[in-house]
Structure 1
């Protein structure tokens, strides 16, 4: 990956921080990707994400955050695991690491509903946005 993430790219995603941190914000509007269609039958309908979630992913893509790379292999590395499960790692992440995380979750959502929800519920997305905001501010000074 060789993208450059200047203040404008960082701000493009960091601008979603106040939206996602608002107390009334609801990331997903259903608790299950299934809908019961009969006494013993269900239909997979996927998660219903807030429109701001889709706007965020569009902004991330437009700003160049989603890059082609071998995300499946990377997701099992010590680096990826630390970034996903250790909040201190996110607070020190480089823009490239943030890009890799975002790309991994976009691609994972294509394989199965709920990857974005896990990114949200784990607090990793908020961590990414907070880190992007800090890096954007540092880049503007």
Structure 2
């Protein structure tokens, strides 16, 4: 897929755990990407994510987590499906597998609002961050 994930890259995203776990943190500030503009008219406005969410994705990109890949094809593989759905899979994932997951959701958000919110609401994002924290500890 690309270069391996460094200890610094692991730390860069694991640093968001306390931010995202804060009692007053709200990942998205609206529950629909639509705004009603008339009795039967709607406008697509997208989700309004907390600024920390954008900072997270910027940190992920800057630290090398988001790699060019055929993420759509990978999304259909047994590996991808297991990482998303099988209990305990993310907790055993390699940094490269975490990178593939983050890349998938980063790119998917560009094609349709709500991919980041789905990642958050499923609990998968926090499991990825906790796994990055565990892996960071192994790098020290």
Structure 1 unpaired stretches of 5+: none
Distance in 2 separating the partners of 1:124 and 1:87: 10
* TM-score normalised according to structure 1 size: 0.97
* TM-score normalised according to structure 2 size: 0.98
Paired residues, what number?
140
1:48-89 deviations in whole A, cap 9, x for unaligned?
Answer: 000000000000000000001110010011110111112300
User: 1:30-41, aligned counterparts within 5 Å?
Assistant: 30-41=30-41
CA-CA distance at 1:40 after TM superposition = 0.6
Distance in 1 separating the partners of 2:111 and 2:2: 25
CA-CA distance at 1:18 after TM superposition = 0.8
Partner of 1:29: 29
User: 1:1-141, aligned counterparts within 5 Å?
Assistant: 1-140=1-140
CA-CA distance at 1:28 after TM superposition = 0.1
Moved over 2 A (4+): none
Equivalent position SS for 2:120: helix
